[in-house]
Amino acid sequence: LQKLIYLLQATDDTLIQEQALITLSNSAAFSVNQDIIRNLDGLSVIGGMLSNCVPKVKEKALNALNNLSMNIKNQEEIQVFITQVCRTVESAPMNSEMQLAGLRLLTNMSVTSDYHQKMINSIPCFLHLLSEGTERTQIQVLKVLVNLSANPAMTRHLLRAQV
């Protein structure tokens, strides 16, 4: 895992970055690896890949963070990327795999109300995706909206959103 994280930092080869992110994502299926990746500063390295201009690399980084977000301690570190993930969801091609990957990560990050405030500005986007997206996109957006709606502090924001 340490070598994969180092490789992500050391190479500009997008194919290698993609493969390293896929491997880290698969490794994150095991809770012990989630802790190891966090302790190796892997979350910030993977999060740094969200700035990559290659859509496939960004998508794989979102998938890896999604798998890593199943851990509360990891969520505490991943939350710094929520605004960037929301912007990615908004700017991604409609119904793209990158958009879905971002929505899946936001779903996990919105299970508790800890980070709902960071998603407020994206509520109009979520509602737009709900009306314009394919069924897969709609289902994923609904999961985020259901999580947000479980928080009474979000009611006003959800009802006032301009669509």
pTM over 0.85: yes
For residue 95, CA distances in Å to 86, 101, 137 come to: 14, 10, 6
Q: Per-domain residue ranges for the chain?
A: 1-79, 80-162
**Options 3.40.50.720, 1.25.10.10, 3.90.1150.10, 1.10.10.10; which CATH number does 1-79 get?**
1.25.10.10
pLDDT digits (tens, 9 = 90+) for 97-139: 999 999 999 999 999 999 999 999 999 999 999 999 999 999 9
Distance, in Å, from the CA atom of 6 to the CA atom of 16, rounded to the nearest integer, reads 12
Amino acid 5 reads I
Question: How many Cα atoms sit within 13 Å of 15 on the Cβ side?
Answer: 0
